[in-house]
Structure 1
Amino acid sequence: MSSITQPQPADTAPRDIPNIDIGHAYDQHYVDAEIHYEHLEKLADFFGRNMPVHHHDRFYQIHVILSGTVRVHLDETSYTVQGPMFFLTPPTVPHAFVTEENARGHVITARQQLVWELMGGMVPTGWGSNSFMNHPLCVALEPAGDKTAARVLHLLDLMADENDHSSMEHRVALRALLQLVLIHISRLADQSQPQQKTRKEDVRIFHRFNELIEAHYKEHLTLSQYTKLISVTEARLNEICRRLAGLPSKRLIMDRLMQEARRLLTFSSAPITEISYQLGFKDPAYFARFFRRNAGVTAGQYRDSKK
């Protein structure tokens, strides 16, 4: 029987909270993957059963506890939970947990941009300042009496099975399964707590901005050019992006360019100068400064680290 105790305020809020990149810290095979799946038991064996407070910058994470008891700290709230249940942590939300030795379950880590894309059509459930995608969530699963909960657990079993395959359709299948998991989690979130209405126009603007970034990021459009295409002011666009994504509008543009730069440096054998031109930089030296400023290392050092 799953249970969740009444949440209590956490005792402390650490000032320096480490960012853990699963692809770099745990499994190099997933260093640039959109979706990382692992059994809870394996991650617990690697990182330890007592996981200190941390966060995952630019990644959402879903922990599903199938059995056992876990003490979970989400931001400034603490829960004592018994499986089956799940907790969701949006990017940058600090969390910590202690799992019993017999606890087992699933852990899904997904890139923020991918989650936005998969949930893009879900209005008003998927977005908004009080959306389940913007705040940590802890929900009990009662598969015996709740079809939605039963489906979530079944979908996670399918993801675990798919994770052992390496077919050409593997990436597509994982995306489809993750989207279904997110849809069902949104339904469970609606059942567990009231949601405020989302301003549909703000959601429309946010998604239009992301669509335009995807289409034009290599052209290096200015923020002013983007806002003219959307017919909004820079101030309003920035406020919407901060509220829905937790990031300023310029950062979303920059992150997309950096994401593609990292991908090309990892998987392409083209010279760095050629990659800079592919990304729309007219001056390779400017690309070098741009990459080092945002990655903390040179493009060459980043490429070497992936070999």
Structure 2
Amino acid sequence: MSRHSPASARTNSSSADIPNIDIGQAYDQHYVDAEIHYEQLEKLANFFGRNMPVHHHDRFYQIHVILEGTVRVHLDETSYTVNGPMFFLTPPTIPHAFVTDNDATGHVITARQQLVWQLMGDLGITRWGNNGTMNSPLCVALTPDSNPSAQRMLYLLNLMSAESNDTGMVNIVALKALLQLILIDITRLSDQNQQKQKTRKEDVRIFHRFNELIEAHYHDHLPLAQYSQMISVTEARLNEICRRLAGLPSKRLIMERLMQEARRLLTYSSAPITEISYQLGFKDPAYFARFFRRNAGITASQYRENKN
């Protein structure tokens, strides 16, 4: 998932300038007074278009679930580009806009604010109230193969799609029950997403700190254990973070920095190779020669000749 906050996506006008779309009145008169409305994404896209300009839904929550395709969505002042399966939630009055691929499929649920608060309140979950944290928009990628909450949520949406074919009293009760279960999964996925974001930020901090230490100590030939101690992480975690963020193991990043400096000195310095090996912290020039050839595929002398 990519995320950014471009100036073009920011909403500087007041909420009164942003269109308020009432699904019941604008799309389906059968739902003018309904508490919950379900529709397939494709049908709404055929009616409103694939490029929805900025708008909001007064006193309504809306959940968009994209099963296939890509969506570019602007939620308040933040923009995301996400491939399905994913969902984004917009609380009442939150301005949002989105563009979906022509072949994107999915589900759209629109539910009255009071119904959502009631359903969550019945479970003792109060985060959906006036000052609740869930009044912030959400954009979450779904991984049903590895996440039971995501798998269950997609299953419940299929059940809701089947129930929406009839609007009898029993079906309305069933829709509310399914919505309550979906909201539970959304709170779980939101918690997991927030934890992932915290973990991701911490991993990035560790990665940057490791690179700072490499820059300061690569010529000291410190063991990886010493780097780990200075960052207060295990060698295994440091290695996992480096592989995930840089595509290289942690030891390789240290060697790459050493090789970068060796290449620079061989190219731009006229100092003898023996002296360069000492500058790089090698106590034995012969060891530097083996190190360079193993990593460059040619000797240091050949490398220098090729650059001249």
- TM-score category of the 2 structures, normalised to the smaller one: 0.5 to 0.7
Residue aligned with 1:114, SS: helix
* Whole-angstrom distance in 2 between the partners of 1:42 and 1:79: 23
1:177 paired with 2:178, answer yes
2:128, 2:169 → 1: CA distance?
29
Asked if 1:30 corresponds to 2:28, the answer is no
Q: Is the Cα contact below 8 Å between 2:120 and 2:128 reproduced in 1?
A: yes
Query: CA 1:141–1:148 in 2, change beyond 3 Å: closer, same or farther?
Result: same
1:112 aligns with 2:97: no
2-side partners of 1:10 and 1:66: how far apart? Answer: 29
Aligned to 1:103: 104
Task: State the shift of 1:130 in Å.
Answer: 5.5
| Residue in 1 that maps onto 2:302 | none
Change (3 A) 1:146 1:128: farther
Post-superposition CA distance 1:9-67 (Å, at most 9, x none): 45231521010000000000001100000000111110111100000000000000000
Tell me if 1:67 matches 2:68.
yes
- Evaluate the alpha carbon distance shift between residue 129 and residue 10 of structure 1 in structure 2; reply closer, same or farther with a 3 A threshold: farther
Query: Is 2:8 the counterpart of 1:8?
Result: no
**In the alignment, structure 1 residue 19 sits paired with structure 2 residue 23:** no
Paired with 2:19 and 2:166, the residues of 1 have a C-alpha distance of 32
Please state whether the residue corresponding to 1:98 is helix, strand or coil: strand
Q: Which has the larger radius of gyration?
A: 2
* Residue in structure 2 matched with residue 301 of structure 1 by the alignment: none
1:198-218 CA distance string (max 9 Å, x none)? xxxxxxxxxxxxxxxxxxxxx
Q: With the length of structure 2 as denominator, give the TM-score of the two structures.
A: 0.59
| Residue number among 113, 122, 145 corresponding to 2:124 in the alignment | 122
Contact kept, 8 Å, 2:149 with 2:189, in 1: the verdict is: yes
- Give the match's secondary structure for 2:92: coil
Task: Confirm or deny: 8 A CA contact 1:10 1:77 kept in the other structure.
Answer: no
**SS in structure 2 opposite 1:119?**
helix
Given that 1:126 and 1:186 are in contact with CA atoms closer than 8 Å, whether structure 2 keeps it comes out as no
> Does the C-alpha gap of structure 1 residues 30 and 128 become closer, same or farther in structure 2, counting only changes over 3 Å?
closer
3-state SS of 2:178 partner = helix
Please tell me the residue identity of whatever aligns with 1:8. S
Report the CA distance shift for 1:125/1:187 in structure 2 as closer, same or farther (over 3 A). Answer: farther
Shift of the alpha carbon at 1:194? 5.0
1:123 CA displacement: 3.5
Offset, 1:165: 2.0
Please tell me whether the aligned partners of residues 125 and 186 of structure 1 are also in contact (alpha carbons under 8 angstroms): no
For 2:132 and 2:170, the matched residues in 1 are separated by: 35
* 1:86 shift after superposition: 0.1
Question: What CA distance in whole angstroms lies between the structure 2 residues aligned with 1:180 and 1:125?
Answer: 16
Quickly say closer, same or farther: Cα 1:139–1:122, change in 2 above 3 A.
farther
Displacement of 1:129 in angstroms is: 4.1
- 2: CA distance, partners of 1:142 / 1:151: 11
Any residues of structure 2 matched to 1:203-282 within 5 Å, and which?
A: none
Unmatched runs of 5 consecutive residues or more in structure 2? 197-308
Give the TM-score taking structure 1 as reference length.
0.60
The residue identity in structure 1 corresponding to 2:111 is A
Larger proportion of helix: 2
2:194 equivalent in structure 1: 193
Cα distance in structure 1, aligned partners of 2:21 and 2:31: 13
Aligned-partner residue type, residue 60 of structure 1: Y
Inter-partner Cα distance in structure 2 for 1:19 and 1:175: 24
Number of residue pairs matched by the alignment: 191
CA gap of 1:139–1:114, structure 2 versus 1, over 3 A, is: same
Between stretches 113-122 and 85-94, larger displacement belongs to 113-122
Q: Measure, in 2, the Cα distance between the counterparts of 1:168 and 1:34.
A: 13
Q: Match of 1:278? A: none
Aligned to 1:39: 40
Distance across 1 between alignment mates of 2:23 and 2:30 = 10
Root-mean-square deviation over aligned CA pairs: 1.7
User: Are positions 1:138 and 2:139 aligned together?
Assistant: yes
Question: How far 1:80 sits from its partner (Å)?
Answer: 0.5
CA contact 1:10–1:78 (8 Å) conserved in 2? no
Is the partner of 2:133 in helix, strand or coil?
Answer: coil
Q: Greater shift after overlay, 89-98 or 12-21?
A: 12-21
Provide the rounded CA distance (Å) in 1 between the counterparts of 2:119 and 2:23: 21
